[in-house]
Structure 1
Amino acid sequence: MARSVARASELCGAAANPSPVAEVAVPPDCLAARSFEMNTGISHTYGSGRRLRGKARPGSSRWFRRYRWLVIGGWLLMVLAVVWVVFFRSERAPVAAALPPASDRPEVTTRSAAAMPPVRLPADDAPHAMLTEWWYYSGHLQTASGERYSFHLATFLRQGTLTHTVFHGSLLDHQSGKLYSEQSRTAGNPSDGRKDGFDFSHGPWQMRGEGSRHAAKMAGKGFALDLQITDTLPPVLHQAPGTPLAGLLDFGAAGLSYYTSRPRMAAEGSLTIDGKSVQVTGDVWFDHQWGDFEAAQLRWNWFALQLTDGADIMLFELFDRQGAPVLRMGTHAKAGVVTALGAQDFTTSSHGTWKSAASGVVYPVDWTISLPARGVRLKIEPVLRASEMDARTTTLNVYWEGAVKASGSHTGLGFMELSGYSPPAEQTRNRNRP
């Protein structure tokens, strides 16, 4: 606008400075130039060559030429600030603060489970055009000399208003009791777009799966892991009894989620701790969930157990943020035979807690689990109680994710995830919300 008005001023010449006696017709462009000057206080040089006002003022073309790099730099800083807020800001509030106001949340699906398409593998191993999706490995490894380690590695893909991908990983050294963890966040979807699998790569992170052949890599401060993972059994499609579609779970108001697993894959590879590398083998549990659901509206207890008799047990308890039950279900798999478990088929009770000094959250980390019809009664204990994942800089929440050991009627190892828990004061506020 300023440039066009300045050009009009040059064309006006003497007409823009009429005699005090004679009335001179002023061209429309001159009127526009003069109006712009009166309203903005920006002066221009007219045809007479005389500047009406002294030095160049902010907004003039001369001023812009002189200070254009400051203007451009200011705009760039503003853009960078927006990018920082969207993708890299650290949310230091308690976990409940990760739930945005209802008006800011992407809408979850309103379709019924009966209207959803069936799971088709391996095509559905690939990323989907849905709000929430994650791929997850957890496992237990050992060296030839008997040293033991546990790990988890997850890739979260969020496709709301802006698409971004988050990587979380941890490695527990059973010998020293030290837990190594790392996380990363990037804009967009860093996968290669393959149709029958997934291949995410971002810096030291890699997660790849094609049917029964997978690979996982991660590295962080003081540790690294590189595994080749294979499976000889078909994947498991989790299903609550009485629901119409295998592999689909109904989270109520939070939406619908597909859920498949490969509960006992064989892994081999290497891990490095503080510069020392060792060869490892072990068992790995793989999960994949996707759908138009809002995980921030839920709290859950999740158990993935690999028992020494060959049975694999998954139990899932979901609640809304006020603590009301949403879904209780599970799966028992052994030698390729998969059985869906309903709420009446198992019991869980917690009898010991651990409080995080970092977040103030109290987690129920000691449990007793029973599957009466199968003669299973297990005591579940964490290998390391302090296994909180503080993800407030990536997924804006905290959760407990760690290795557990099972004893009782059967023995085994597993992983437990406790998500959506809040500090005691925040829990009280949640219960009091309408």
Structure 2
Amino acid sequence: HGQEDEHTFRRALPGYVYRFPADHAAHPDFRTEWWYYTGHLTTEKGRNFGFQLTFFRHALRPPSTESQSRWAMHTLYFVHFAITDEKKDTYRFQEKVSRGALNMAGADPETYHVWMEDWEVSLQGKTHRLKAGKEDMGIDLALAPTKEAVIHGNNGVSQKAEGEGYASHYYSLTRMQTTGVLHWQGHSYEVTGQAWMDHEFGSNQLRDYQVGWDWFSVQLDNQTELMLYVIRHRGGQVDSTSSGTLIHPDGSSEHLLLSTFQVETLGSWRSKKSGTIYPSGWRLTVPGKKLELKLVPTIKDQELTTRKSTLVNYWEGSVRVTGSFKGREVEGRGYVELTGYDAKFRPDI
């Protein structure tokens, strides 16, 4: 982390005004940006799948007056794509990496279109179109948001550490009606389901003493959603800026401070591939909202060992959700992301 680039990349500061759909597009004046989709798909015969598709943009130096093509060389793009097959207890992921040269990969700052070769996400009206993979493992999906974008944090910033600018601009589309085709192991399935989109951009989010995070997204069948993230320090303490958002059926939302919720780990799982030990199974409680949820992975092994692109191991997987909310039983589905349990992990964000 050189000092000079912190003064040339734009920082995520309070007071940012979001405009949609313009803010779905790329923000090249920030160093790091990602567009992240997860979802739960069901075939016509009731077979359940999960998917993750994430496009990352990482600028190696700030945009300047140099030509667009020269500047493109100073941007790295990564894509992670994963499918969880609940019935077969199978998980597969693919990754791609590219510099923005020769138009092989890019992120349009004017209209929402992010691509790498023939993998892409784009906007058609209000519908998000996702295309990734091939015949043995691929998706071609249309995602229609049923709620407006939810802005996380206070005053337009999601704080990730103490100190000005150690933050991101972060919003989500927490419920997206999803239809399309899943290609899997030689078959093509018509699928329907629900998806979630995160879009986050900033320039220096984490401090050196922070090692990783546990992130949770939950979609309950009663049309309520929950997002929580817990940032961990080297010594095992939880960062005070960890927070969350509760989204109501009407789309309104509430910011949740760390003091208002608890995340309890119920078990662990050891990866045979990397040797990393991850938490596995959680209890999330928000006492003031009378919300208590149990999250169980649909399958244990949903680890990405990204040797080509980001060079880190992380766990990103679909979970089943049960529990109670205001005295009533609830159930739903979710996704959990676990980073920094691998000793080598040090994201340059």
Which amino acid counterpart does residue 84 of structure 2 have in structure 1? L
- 1:324-363 to structure 2, matched below 5 A, reads 324-326=237-239, 327-335=241-249, 336-363=251-278
Which amino acid counterpart does residue 106 of structure 2 have in structure 1? S
Which of 77, 82, 85 aligns to 1:170? It is 82
Comparing both structures, which one devotes a greater share of its residues to strand?
A: 2
- 1:25-424 to structure 2, matched below 5 A, reads 102=1, 107=6, 113-114=13-14, 117-128=16-27, 129-161=29-61, 162-188=74-100, 190-191=105-106, 193=108, 195=110, 197-209=111-123, 212-219=126-133, 222-239=136-153, 243=154, 245-252=155-162, 255-294=166-205, 297=208, 298=210, 299-326=212-239, 327-335=241-249, 336-409=251-324, 410-423=330-343
Report the alpha carbon displacement of residue 348 of structure 1 after superposing the two structures with TM.
0.8
* TM-score, normalisation: structure 2: 0.84
Judge which range, 102-111 or 213-222, deviates more: 102-111
1:111 and 1:132 mapped to 2: Cα distance? 10
User: Does the CA contact (< 8 Å) of 2:137 and 2:184 recur in 1?
Assistant: yes
Which amino acid counterpart does residue 331 of structure 2 have in structure 1? T
Judge which range, 143-152 or 277-286, deviates more: 143-152
User: Does the CA contact (< 8 Å) of 2:11 and 2:203 recur in 1?
Assistant: no
Which amino acid counterpart does residue 159 of structure 2 have in structure 1? L
1:258 and 1:164 mapped to 2: Cα distance? 20
Report the alpha carbon displacement of residue 113 of structure 1 after superposing the two structures with TM.
3.2
Query: 1:95 corresponds to which residue?
Result: none
Closer, same or farther in 2 for the Cα pair 1:282/1:187, shift >3 Å?
same
User: Does the CA contact (< 8 Å) of 1:300 and 1:316 recur in 2?
Assistant: yes
Closer, same or farther in 2 for the Cα pair 1:176/1:377, shift >3 Å?
same
Number of residue pairs matched by the alignment: 319
Closer, same or farther in 2 for the Cα pair 1:379/1:307, shift >3 Å?
same
Cα shift readout 1:154-173 (whole Å, capped 9, x = no counterpart): 00000024311000010111
Cα shift readout 1:293-325 (whole Å, capped 9, x = no counterpart): 255854101000001111110001112444343
What are the ranges of 5 or more consecutive residues in structure 2 without an aligned counterpart? 62-73, 325-329
Query: 2:71 corresponds to which residue?
Result: none
Query: 1:26 corresponds to which residue?
Result: none
What are the ranges of 5 or more consecutive residues in structure 1 without an aligned counterpart? 1-101
Comparing both structures, which one devotes a greater share of its residues to helix?
A: 1
* TM-score, normalisation: structure 1: 0.68
User: Does the CA contact (< 8 Å) of 1:149 and 1:171 recur in 2?
Assistant: yes
Which amino acid counterpart does residue 159 of structure 1 have in structure 2? A
Query: 1:77 corresponds to which residue?
Result: none
Which amino acid counterpart does residue 224 of structure 2 have in structure 1? A
Closer, same or farther in 2 for the Cα pair 1:135/1:296, shift >3 Å?
farther
Report the alpha carbon displacement of residue 148 of structure 1 after superposing the two structures with TM.
0.9
**Higher-RCO chain (CA-CA 8 Å, sequence separation at least 6):** 2
Instruction: Report SS of the residue matched to 1:121.
Output: coil
Instruction: Report SS of the residue matched to 1:309.
Output: coil
Which amino acid counterpart does residue 51 of structure 2 have in structure 1? F
Report the alpha carbon displacement of residue 117 of structure 1 after superposing the two structures with TM.
3.0
1:301 and 1:387 mapped to 2: Cα distance? 14
Closer, same or farther in 2 for the Cα pair 1:344/1:210, shift >3 Å?
farther
Instruction: Report SS of the residue matched to 2:106.
Output: coil
Larger Rg, first or second structure (1 or 2) = 1
2:295 and 2:125 mapped to 1: Cα distance? 32
Q: Note the aligned Cα RMSD (angstroms).
A: 2.5
Instruction: Report SS of the residue matched to 1:124.
Output: helix
1:229 and 1:147 mapped to 2: Cα distance? 19
User: Does the CA contact (< 8 Å) of 2:160 and 2:231 recur in 1?
Assistant: no
Which amino acid counterpart does residue 413 of structure 1 have in structure 2? R
